[in-house]
Amino acid sequence: MDNLSKSYLLTDYKILRQIQRRKYRRLTSPILAICLSLIITFLLRNLDYIYFPLLTITVASFVWYGYIMVSFRTKGRIVQPERGMMVSPIEGRIKSLRSGGEVHSIRISKAFIDVIEIRCPFPGEYTREGNNLTIMTDSESIHLLFHGKDITWIDAGFSWGAEGKRPYIFHSKDITWIDAGGSEKSAGGKHSYDDAVAGSVIGFMVGKGSCTINLPAVYTPEVTIAQIVFGGESVICPFTPVVS
């Protein structure tokens, strides 16, 4: 059991439950459309001219249902990231890798079928403002810019369910904490964390999106263009500064 806990990092069930709740809320509309079209088709089965329009609506509703299901794929267990390594914050493909001056710019593109978790790329201190993260290292700061229409942030500064602490949910630039009764209240502001765990879930991005990592030139990227990366597992670079 000890070996298993050291080898794998598990997503807290409360985070997975929040994701499932959001998914089920979005599935309500296509499920209702499917049921309604099937009922109307049965009631008006003798009217040939209405059969094909209703069939089209039914098929479209099933496609809509499938799209939402695929868009909410999660990965509840990952291999524990190695010490001293920066890992990819999201699952996707390396679309661009540019080096110039004092920074390497790495852009990861996420497709709608990729898992939705945003994971902490490196242990330690970081700040978040809006959809931008800044990681503080011993030598330089690393900036990560997230782009997407549906991004939710989760406070990684504490353990879910810890005594005296509340689960916080961050919705894009607006911050909302959710109390035990499930009601939401606004918080707002710039947030910093000093004890984040590498690979832990700090948010989720539903649908298409991207992440641009601005990496100081003192670090050497270990990824290539078109490479597929996995959130919390694929190594972006070792945190060993290059000695010039």
> Per-residue pLDDT tens for 157-192?
333 333 333 333 333 333 343 333 434 444 444 555
Domain hosting residue 44, numbered range: 2-71
Shared domain check, 105 and 6:
no
Residue 76 within any structural domain of the chain: no
pLDDT tens, position by position, 21-45 = 999 999 999 999 999 988 888 888 7
pTM of the entire predicted model: 0.77
pLDDT tens, position by position, 121-141 = 887 777 888 888 888 777 678
Q: Which residues contact 142 (CB under 8 A, 6 or more apart)?
A: 86, 122, 134, 135, 213, 214, 215, 216, 219
At 133, which amino acid appears? L
Residue 15 has pLDDT above 50, yes or no: yes
Nearest to 157 by CA among 184, 189, 207, 197: 197
Residue 48 has pLDDT above 60, yes or no: yes
Residue 65 within any structural domain of the chain: yes
Residue 143 has pLDDT above 80, yes or no: yes
Tally of structural domains, the chain: 2
Domain boundary among 20, 37, 71: 71
Query: Are 1 and 70 within 8 A, CB to CB?
Result: no
Residue 204 within any structural domain of the chain: yes
More confident residue, 183 or 62: 62
pLDDT of residue 38: 86
Shared domain check, 212 and 115:
yes
Shared domain check, 104 and 60:
no
pLDDT of residue 186: 42
Residue 17 within any structural domain of the chain: yes
pLDDT of residue 128: 81
Residue 243 within any structural domain of the chain: no
Residue 33 within any structural domain of the chain: yes
CA distances from 198 to 32, 50, 72, 85 (A): 41, 56, 22, 9
pLDDT of residue 192: 54
